[in-house]
Each structure stands twice: as structure tokens, then as C-alpha cells.
Amino acid sequence: MAEPEVAVPNADLFDKIVNLCKRRGFVYPSAEIYGGFRSAYDYGPLGVLMLRNVKDAWWRSMVQLRHDVVGLDAAVLSPPAVWEASGHLANFSDPLVDCTNCKTRHRQDNLDDPNTCPSCGKSGTFTEAREFNLMFKTQAGPVEGAGHDVYLRPETAQGIFLNFKNVLNTTRKKPPFGIAQIGKSFRNEITPGNFVFRTREFEQMEMEFFVHPDEALQWYEYWLNERLNWYIDLGIPANQVMLRPHAEDELSHYSAGTSDVEFMFPWGWGELEGIANRGDFDLKAHAAAANEKLEYFDQASGERYVPHVIEPAAGATRAMMAFLMAAYVEEEVNDDVRTVLKLDPRLAPYKVAVLPLSKKDVLRPLAHSVLEALQPHMMTEYDETQAIGRRYRRQDEIGTPLCVTIDFDSLDDNAVTVRDRDTMEQVRVRVDDIVDHVTEALGF
């Protein structure tokens, strides 16, 4: 697929988003009072809402609106046998090089020039590449050194394969069907960076779709389209997202095809999600190692087979960053610059803000009754300090689609003003109709 014409990297956008995230409470550096910890980030009051909305949107599309996918929440810790069978102990590694001049460490496969250190610019200073396993290992048991080795999962997918038989036996699902899971994964990345794009602790949204081997290609194509369109439907412009099929030499030995959904990040195209046609590799590997039958018996046809698997594997934290970047707009309004996050209302942290025009006590009871009418239906923000114009700008900057203002006339006409984030248009709405009006305007 050709790269769309209009999307170009925008280096400024990166700093603007990192700054906005910190300043407004989306994402904070983890352990910041101790100087920060580049491996991980903390999601603040707005970030926790938005990240949850990203995961909810995925769950809704992958589980709730389908009849052929069920959910799962498997353990984060698992014994070495799992990772031996899956191939992660032997193969889940990146080639690591150290610069002998400036002592920095790099992933060899990510270097523009494999002989030149991007940190100090010197050539020929790298050590031989070593394979570095990305899994975090720890000990289970109370006595240090005497416990059993366990690993933090580097992907959620294996928990799904381990439960294939449980799900088959306890639900009425049969191929084609899927098992979906959202949760934290851990990878000891050599070079975490680009904000939450690459961290050592992150969240994934993965689904394994089990199909008859003859139908694998058709379902692979189906999931490519579904997954690309999910991002577009939630507001990423079609020219900033694309499918990139893996070249022959990028494919895992068992994969009959993999494509990445890529987004135009400020530094260029980067992966949001991988969609892989994994064949029967995983089920067969676990069946052999655990001495179990991981297969499906079709009673109607009398056929017994190991299903093939199509896997859409997305990053929730990475997707949230892409949604923020795609939504960020600076507009000139009355000789001033207005910063707006034009987030889809489904992803916006707060759906509506209730803003009494003044802090005066007389407006408070009505403002609170509007707030309490809206709160059971959606996340509602309340703010009564500063000039109203500045409060609108604060809400624009965090992507709140609607503001409801209570003014002194409201006390007489029992009506309030509803302002739209994108058009800045204002309409007067009766207090009694506010929940219906807001719900309809948001489109849920």
C-alpha cells in the first residue's frame, strides 16, 4: 500500500503532546519525585479515563458487538515451561550493542547506520551484538534464592492459548471463534523511549481467533480490514494510518502472513498493532510440551483438527498516544491560539463540563443539580473558578466535547447554555432536557 500523500512527520507535535500530558494530568513520568524512571509511566486523572475509554472501545468492538468472541483475564506470572514451549525463552530477544566510547546501549536492528553510535556520533565503537532476552524473570516463594523461577508475561497471547481447551469446554463456542484479552505486559526493552510508545511495562489488547485451516487466509484478510477501520472510526484520519504487510524476511518462521497497522507518529510511521496469521504453531507447541490435546472435533463432519489462529495484537498505551496526536489541533481564534483535542466523544476523558458563570452562591444549587443529573450517565467535570473564556479553553485542551454554562438568566428561565468544542456554537437548552440533549449531541 502506498503511503498517503498528505501525512508528514511533525516533530513539534511530540513535545507538545508530552507537555500537555504532563501539564494537564494525562501521563506523568513514573517515580518522578525520585528523578523519574524511563521504563514506565503513570496515568493521571485524565489519562486513566482516556486509557479506559480506549480499552472499552476495543472491548466493545471485539467482544460486546460480536457473537463469536469471548473474553479472558489470565495471570501475569507464569512458569518457564510456558515460555519454553512458546519459543520466548529461546527467541524473544533483540540484538544489543554497547558503544565503547559513550557507554550507551542500542538495539542494533533499530540503528540507521549499524556502525555509527547515534548518541556520540562515533563510528566503529560498537561491541559485537549479543542477543538479549526481553522477558523479566523473578522468583516465586518467600525465600530468596530458593523459590521457583517465574516470568512476567511479555504478551497476553499465551494466556489465551493455555486456556483454549477451558474455553472450548465451558462455552458453546466452536471455530471460527475468538478469545480476547486486555492487560499489562512487560518487556525489558533495550531502548525504551519516545514517551509511552516503547516502555517496559505497557498494556496490550490481543485477540486470538481460531479457525478451520482452510479458512485462515479469508479470516486474516477480514481482520486486517476490521482492525484498520477501528482506528479510523475512532477519529484517526485515513491518511495517517495504514496497513504495512511484512516482507518475507521479517516474518516469523511459522507465520503465513503478518501486517502492521502503522500510524504517522511525529518521527515517521510506527507500529500500532500487528495482525498475524499464525497457523497452528502455538496450539501445537503447547499440546506437545504439556502432553495435552489442543484441537477441535467437529461432530457434524467427524473432522478433528488443530485450528489455525489469526491474531490482532494491539497496544492500548501506544494507541492512546496516537489518538492524542491525531486529535491535537491549534486554531487561530480572535488573534489568539486555541488548542483543542478533537477527540472522538467516546475517547474523551470527560464528556461534558458543568460551568457556573460565577462562583456566587446563588448559581451553585442549580449548577449542582445539573451536575448530578449528568453524572450517572457520563464522566462530568465541574469547574467554577476563573473567567468563563479561560475555562472553555481548559476544556478544549483536554478534549471535553460539551460545556454546560449556568448563568444568572438560568435562575429565571430554567435553561442553560451548551457549547460545542469543535464549532464553539452555543445553544440554549432547558434544564429538564439537559441529559437527553447532551446524550444525543455526543452520539451515544
Which contacts of 421-430 are long-range, i.e. CB under 8 A and separated by 24 or more positions? 421/340, 421/342, 421/395, 421/396, 422/340, 422/342, 424/333, 429/404
**Which of 189, 208, 280, 344 lies at the binding interface for ligand ATP (CB under 6 A)?**
189
Phi, psi of 318 (to 5 degrees): -65, -40
The least CB distance from residue 187 to ligand ATP, in Å, is: 5
Question: Per-residue x/- marks for ligand ATP, 134-173, CB under 6 A?
Answer: ---------------------x------------------
Question: Per-residue x/- marks for ligand ATP, 202-241, CB under 6 A?
Answer: x-x-------------------------------------
Candidate segments 246-254, 309-317, 397-405, 407-415, binder of ligand ATP by CB under 6 A: 309-317
Judged by CB, which is closer to ligand ATP: 189, or 396? 189
Q: Is 278 exposed, middle or buried (CB count within 10 Å of its CB: 0-12, 13-18, 19+)?
A: buried
Q: Within positions 269 to 298, which residues make up the interface with ligand ATP, using CB under 6 A? A: 271-274
The least CB distance from residue 95 to ligand ATP, in Å, is: 13
317 belongs to the binding site for ligand ATP (CB under 6 A): yes
Judged by CB, which is closer to ligand ATP: 231, or 328? 231
What strands lie across the sheet with 93-98, from one edge to the other? 105-107, 93-98, 130-133
Q: Is 175 exposed, middle or buried (CB count within 10 Å of its CB: 0-12, 13-18, 19+)?
A: buried
The least CB distance from residue 255 to ligand ATP, in Å, is: 11
The least CB distance from residue 94 to ligand ATP, in Å, is: 8
The helix (run of H) or strand (run of E) holding residue 147 is none
The least CB distance from residue 55 to ligand ATP, in Å, is: 13
Q: What is the 3-state secondary structure (H, E, C) of 178-218?
A: EEEEEEEEECCCCCCECHHHECCEEEEEEEEEEECHHHHHH
Which residues have a Cβ under 8 Å from the Cβ of 143 and sit 6 or more positions away? none
Number of residues that bind ligand ATP (CB under 6 A): 16
> Which spans of this chain sit near ligand ATP (rule: CB under 6 A)?
155, 187, 189, 198-199, 202, 204, 271-274, 313-315, 317-318
